[in-house]
Structure 1
């Protein structure tokens, strides 16, 4: 009897300790089977570049990048209400205290924001959320280790000169058709 009581207490403590809030990662996973969404990952292998021609800062930026998770929702004549509801859910998720907003542009129905998780010198995740009622929205999670704003700027310069492996972007191309 004592053992059963201790197990019940342990299970209740574990369950009460679980966070019932939806995370952005959970949001991506939950939408992966929905026909109105396209969810996919992009690995660093998408960036084909001659590393011998990169500066030390560009090499550091490339090394800090682990992967990108991309979620896109395309609006059509029948899913306007779903767009509104999902856009609102994402806006609320990004208001969580773990996400620090770097910038926001646009109005309530159209716009974009850039947020991050971590400290300014040790960023674990950048999040870009862009939406437009007429076309839909996209959320891009850039995951890495010890990233900083300079890494992102250097990564952009690497991308400009890189040969991008577009096969990883096929799900996004299919959505745009």
Structure 2
């Protein structure tokens, strides 16, 4: 009887642990298998910064960011239905209460938003989402530990000082119209 109770408890925990709800991470993983998507993972090493040239604030901000995941869907005349479907899936995921909206912009055919996961001064993930009906959409996940909005703004200033290795960004060139 004791074994049956233990087995039942273990099985119940396993079922509860298997969350079937869509998550942004699952969406990224599943989408990389499709030819309509381009995925790129970047670490802060891409910036090729000299640590001695960073201010204390910049160094602190850089240390809170672990990596960035970029997922882009290139829309064209042949895949508009899939574009709309994928965009709807993504928007459903981002409506989850764990994604707190910081900012949203929209102008009919295009729009964007910035979300975060975590507490105001201990953010674990920033999500930047942008879409344009004729071009597609892109989602950028900035993953880190104890980030804050000021860290992201500081990172933008660090980008100006960086010597980015553009070779790592080659897969995204297909998204930019020539």
Residues 1:115 and 2:115 aligned together:
yes
Q: What residue in structure 2 maps to residue 23 of structure 1?
A: 23
Equivalence map 1:155-174=2 (5 Å) = 155-174=155-174
SS of alignment partner, residue 71 of structure 1: strand
Unmatched tracts of structure 2, length 5 or more: none
Find the aligned partners of 2:31 and 2:165 in 1 and give their Cα distance: 25
Most deviating of 107-116 and 51-60: 107-116
Q: What residue in structure 2 maps to residue 74 of structure 1?
A: 74
Find the aligned partners of 1:176 and 1:158 in 2 and give their Cα distance: 24
Residues 1:62 and 2:62 aligned together:
yes
Instruction: Give how far 1:18 is off.
Output: 2.4
Instruction: Give how far 1:108 is off.
Output: 5.1
SS of alignment partner, residue 58 of structure 2: helix
TM-score of the aligned structures, taking structure 2 as reference length:
0.92
Residues 1:35 and 2:35 aligned together:
yes
Instruction: Give how far 1:10 is off.
Output: 2.3
Q: What residue in structure 2 maps to residue 147 of structure 1?
A: 147
Most deviating of 108-117 and 24-33: 108-117
Residues 1:46 and 2:81 aligned together:
no
TM-score of the aligned structures, taking structure 1 as reference length:
0.93
Note the alpha carbon deviations across 1:87-115, whole angstroms, 9 max, x for none: 01111111101011000001454100000
Number of positions where the alignment pairs a residue of Structure 1 with one of Structure 2: 177
Find the aligned partners of 1:26 and 1:108 in 2 and give their Cα distance: 28
Find the aligned partners of 2:108 and 2:4 in 1 and give their Cα distance: 53
SS of alignment partner, residue 10 of structure 1: helix
Instruction: Give how far 1:173 is off.
Output: 1.7
